[in-house]
């Protein structure tokens, strides 16, 4: 399968200033990330707040330029914002963010907003029929379509945003914390809707969440991020059942899979990660229960550790050595 989306060694730094006369500091929000999303698969991106997930999502959509590295969409370099090529690419990649109310216009009935992309992208189809189909596809009725955003529940509003995102039959959907603002009881319904729609359309999805339980539900592959870097990546079932990186192990033991309890719980200790004060060497070393001297001075590269699986940790044996 060809890659729909490829990020190749992408980095994005922000220069920030504390106070009016404060010292300028550079935050490397995303720091050398490479990943691929293929058609029909969902790449889950998980990591604590500040690990660079949203920045990476914006870069993947061409909403933000990386300082370093390259983004390719369907084999071609991501076009520059504003060009006709970019408009075409944007029709083929859509997004769903955390706050549906912010994404919708309070003054317009939701059906009007669901069919807006047809006019924007000059898609030749019957808007009334397409709108009704879209409402049905996300589990809403014609009656919901006539309502205004504030007359719907949070879950229904997110369904509206999803319906609108799918209007252009995109190849790629980037979801950034799409259920994090919803009640836990509603989250699973919306996630199941996304799974269902994706399986029917075969689109590729990047699903960003700080919540491992949600990522576990939807992902085919998972990338675990820590302070702007991927520390472990691989098939979701493998990474989330037998995480290799100490940080991934800690995340998983804090949100264990349903089923028999494992006894080897790893508790995350120490300060939460601060992107403005990135530790030397492996950024996780101050919180790592197994760190050795080398971890303080030398940043571990992301290397294959098994078929289709990578991790960035000095203490994990690389695949080549396993095979030898």
Write out the residues near ligand ADP by the rule CB under 6 A. Answer: 14, 16, 27, 29, 47, 49-55, 275
Min dist. Cβ of residue 30 to ligand ADP (A): 7
**CB-neighbour burial class of residue 222 (10 A; exposed 0-12, middle 13-18, buried 19+):** buried
Q: Which is nearer to Mg ion, 147 or 278 (CB)?
A: 278
**CB-neighbour burial class of residue 110 (10 A; exposed 0-12, middle 13-18, buried 19+):** buried
**Residue 172 interacts with, from ligand ADP, Mg ion, none (CB under 5-8 Å by kind):** none
Pairing of β 68-73 and β 221-226: unpaired
DSSP state of 279: P
**CB-neighbour burial class of residue 82 (10 A; exposed 0-12, middle 13-18, buried 19+):** exposed
Pairing of β 229-235 and β 204-209: unpaired
Min dist. Cβ of residue 34 to ligand ADP (A): 17
Min dist. Cβ of residue 262 to ligand ADP (A): 27
Q: Which is nearer to ligand ADP, 50 or 234 (CB)?
A: 50
Min dist. Cβ of residue 119 to Mg ion (A): 31
DSSP state of 286: G
Q: Which is nearer to ligand ADP, 31 or 171 (CB)?
A: 31
55 touching Mg ion, by CB under 5 A: no
Residue 266 CA, chain-centre distance (Å), reads 25
Pairing of β 204-209 and β 42-46: parallel
98 touching Mg ion, by CB under 5 A: no
Of the CA atoms within 13 Å of residue 57, those in its CB half-sphere come to: 25
**Residue 27 interacts with, from ligand ADP, Mg ion, none (CB under 5-8 Å by kind):** ligand ADP
Min dist. Cβ of residue 210 to ligand ADP (A): 7
Q: Which is nearer to Mg ion, 53 or 159 (CB)?
A: 53
Q: Which is nearer to ligand ADP, 55 or 156 (CB)?
A: 55
Pairing of β 172-176 and β 93-96: parallel
54 touching Mg ion, by CB under 5 A: yes
Min dist. Cβ of residue 134 to Mg ion (A): 27
**Residue 248 interacts with, from ligand ADP, Mg ion, none (CB under 5-8 Å by kind):** none
Number of residues that bind Mg ion (CB under 5 A): 2
Q: Which is nearer to Mg ion, 54 or 310 (CB)?
A: 54
51 touching Mg ion, by CB under 5 A: no
Neighbouring CB atoms inside 10 A of 128's CB total 10
Interatomic CA distance for residues 311 and 319, integer angstroms: 10
Contact positions vs Mg ion (CB under 5 A): 53-54
């Amino acid at each position: 399968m060809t890659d729909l989306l490829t990020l190749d060694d992408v980095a994005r730094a922000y220069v920030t200033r504390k106070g009016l006369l404060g010292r300028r500091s550079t935050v490397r929000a995303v720091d050398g990330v490479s990943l691929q999303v293929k058609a029909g698969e969902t790449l889950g991106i998980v990591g604590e707040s500040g690990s660079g997930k949203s920045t990476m999502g914006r870069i993947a959509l061409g909403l933000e330029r990386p300082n370093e590295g390259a983004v390719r969409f369907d084999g071609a370099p991501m076009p520059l914002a504003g060009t006709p090529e970019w408009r075409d690419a944007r029709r083929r990649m859509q997004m769903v963010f955390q706050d549906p109310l912010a994404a919708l216009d309070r003054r317009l009935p939701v059906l009007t907003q669901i069919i807006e992309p047809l006019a924007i992208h000059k898609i030749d189809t019957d808007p009334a029929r397409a709108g009704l189909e879209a409402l049905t596809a996300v589990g809403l009725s014609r009656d919901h379509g006539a309502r205004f955003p504030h007359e719907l529940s949070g879950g229904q509003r997110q369904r509206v945003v999803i319906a609108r995102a799918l209007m252009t039959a995109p190849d790629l959907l980037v979801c950034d914390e799409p259920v994090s603002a919803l009640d836990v009881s509603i989250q699973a319904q919306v996630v199941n809707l996304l799974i269902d729609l994706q399986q029917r359309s075969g689109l590729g999805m990047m699903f960003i969440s700080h919540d491992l339980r949600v990522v576990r539900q939807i992902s085919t592959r998972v990338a675990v991020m820590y302070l702007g870097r991927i520390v472990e990546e691989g098939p979701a079932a493998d990474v989330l059942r037998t995480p290799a990186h100490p940080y991934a192990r800690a995340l998983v033991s804090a949100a264990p899979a349903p089923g028999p309890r494992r006894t080897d719980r790893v508790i995350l200790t120490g300060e939460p990660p601060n992107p403005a004060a990135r530790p030397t060497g492996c950024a996780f070393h101050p919180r790592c229960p197994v760190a050795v001297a080398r971890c303080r001075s030398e940043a571990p590269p992301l290397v294959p550790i098994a078929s289709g699986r990578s991790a960035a940790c000095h203490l994990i044996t690389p695949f080549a050595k396993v095979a030898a």
